[in-house]
Amino acid sequence: MSKNLKNAAIRLTSASALAVSVLTAVVVTPASASPLTDGIAATAKAENGNGYCAHGGYVGGPNQSSSCTGGTTRTHAWCADFAGWVWARNGVTGLATLDDRAASFMDYGKKYGTLSSTPHVGDAVVYNYNGGDYADHVAVVTGVSGDTVTITGGNQGGYPGHVSTNSTPYWRVGQSPWGQRISGYISPAGTTNPQYPNPASLPSGTLVKSPNGPEVKVMVSGSGVPVAASDVTPDNYDLSKLVLVDDAAFRALPSAPPSGTVVHDQAGGAERYVIIDNAALLIGGDDWVPAGYNQRPDMGVPTAWLKAAAQRTVPAGTVVMDQTGTDPARYVMVNGTALHISASEWTEDGYNTQRLMGVPGQWLKRAVTKTLQAGTVVMDGSGTDPGRYVMVGGTAVHISASEWTANGYNTQPEMGVPGEWLNASVGKQVANGTIVKDSSGTDATVYVMAGGVAVRLTWADFTGLGYDKQTLEFAPGGFLTPAAAKAAPADGTMLLSPDSNTVWQVVGGKKKALTDDQFGPGKLNRADVVSVPAAFTAKFPTVTG
């Protein structure tokens, strides 16, 4: 018999559709001994579920014929075609020895001295070899773990056969795990270093993989976006169409689409995003048409990647503008906050020489109103002011020369900010209700800011007033010490202490009782009231009359 194999009647069990990592990216092979064998296992297992006419038919060596004729008809049993095709896709040498017979793999092993009784990932395993020109079946070893061997083969299952992956503890030569006796394992002799395509030449949506590793990426506008295991089913990625590509080019692929690319979740959903330096910014309904995003190609990207990208901030130093042009101002991004660049600074500070990125107007409005993250160390981007500052409660607090190193500020990134923005921030009062502590660590006291005064809190105050549930910020001692020594909060500061329900307003170093009717829309806001220890309010005389 030539290749009229019995394997069309085999019912292999425990088939798995795909081996994937549950951590970061699709993995289509177990750990193995070399890039070559990794690639063989990956290629084989990516074909799971395919029939004889996948890819227009499986053709391996030059002396093998296609598993499919005319795209619809199986002309012969095709297990050897499949195994040869897998080896060929990974550049295995000596494929002219193979033909349509499963037994030709035994010929290959004898010729190149790679026939053994020990399974290795990437090997061909031959069943029911008669010692001459016939064997019942051949498959590819795609996993070896402890006492379990996994094989992937074509023309398995009932007629007309398909590709499946199966594992067994019965892997020794002479054993018959599926009713067919194992005759031997044949390792590939080596690789001819095939010329895989450069992934950059492939159209968007193509799934690619290097033969030297397990990760799978999807091409999006010339970038290779990682595909997570959790994306395969909901995003409808067909791993049977996986394309092996040049390893160096695969590793060099950018992991995010180019800035300005419009993307959506491949699994579905109405939201659209624009990519800006690896971050995905949500495009609001008011921006879709006015900003011209509707005119750009809309690219599907893996769900897991998009979720992560939507949480990223635009890199510090990126200069942005409203893509719609409604807001003519220019801004620089610092830790997720958009800081205004004045007209005079635009040229003087060199912002005009940087790449200007258009962003959704609705997104920009939110970024402009964000308070710069506490603990951010900033400096005047123009260099006019040589001082260094740290953000505390929305205010830039000066760092003295002695504290710069002693408190570890010198180890943090320094963010250049527009000088005019910095000057305005330095003059601001630290936000009421900010919980602060000396950044040097020498003073364990915790304070709450109230009208420019750092009010000391005992542990009972800290927990009793609920401040233990707020973020603790660290301030230079050079700021904190004089703030704690101030006599009284700024006029208009509203205070509430636990000994009374009365809200007090500071007026000229005294306190004035407020009534309920003074709060509400267009009036005073209770959210501006600062809770302080009773002893603090008690020291201020009450305004009478």
pLDDT digits (tens, 9 = 90+) for 44-61: 998 999 988 888 888 888
Q: pLDDT confidence of 272, banded at 50, 70, 90?
A: very high
C-alpha distances out from residue 295 to 286, 306, 341, Å: 15, 21, 29
Q: Is 331 exposed, middle or buried (0-12, 13-18, 19+ CB in 10 A)?
A: buried
- Name the residue type at position 69: T
CB atoms within 10 A of CB 233: 12
Average pLDDT of every residue of the chain: 89
DSSP-derived 3-state class of residue 522: coil
DSSP labels, 442-455: S---EEEEETTEEE
Interval 164-209: pLDDT, tens? 999 999 999 999 998 999 999 999 987 665 567 788 888 899 999 8
Q: What is the pLDDT of residue 201?
A: 83
Give the 3-state secondary structure percentages of the chain, helix then strand then coil, rounded to 5.
Answer: 25, 25, 50
Handedness of CA 106, 110, 116, 117 (dihedral sign): positive
Interval 486-504: pLDDT, tens? 999 999 999 999 999 999 9
CA distance 528 to 436: 17
Q: What angle do CA 526, 527, 528 make, to 5 degrees?
A: 85
- Percent of the chain past pLDDT 90, that is, above it, reads 75
CA distance 30 to 18: 11
Q: What is the pLDDT of residue 14?
A: 26
Interval 276-300: pLDDT, tens? 999 999 999 999 999 999 999 999 9
Q: What is the mean pLDDT of residues 217-243?
A: 92
Q: Give the lowest-confidence range in 9-13, 150-154, 332-336.
A: 9-13
Per the rule left: phi > 0, alpha: psi between -120 and 50, beta: everything else, 437 is beta
- Percent of the chain past pLDDT 70, that is, above it, reads 91
DSSP-derived 3-state class of residue 366: helix
Handedness of CA 66, 144, 49, 25 (dihedral sign): negative
Contact 359, 274 (CB under 8 A): yes
Most confident of 14-28, 135-149, 182-196: 135-149
Position 31 pLDDT exceeds 80 = no
Q: Give the lowest-confidence range in 191-200, 227-236, 335-344.
A: 191-200
Q: What is the pLDDT of residue 4?
A: 33
Q: What is the pLDDT of residue 28?
A: 39
C-alpha distances out from residue 481 to 429, 436, 452, 462, 485, Å: 15, 12, 12, 19, 6
More confident residue, 240 or 311: 311
Position 378 pLDDT exceeds 90 = yes
Alpha helices in 376-521 (DSSP H): 401-406, 419-426, 459-464, 477-485
Position 71 pLDDT exceeds 70 = no
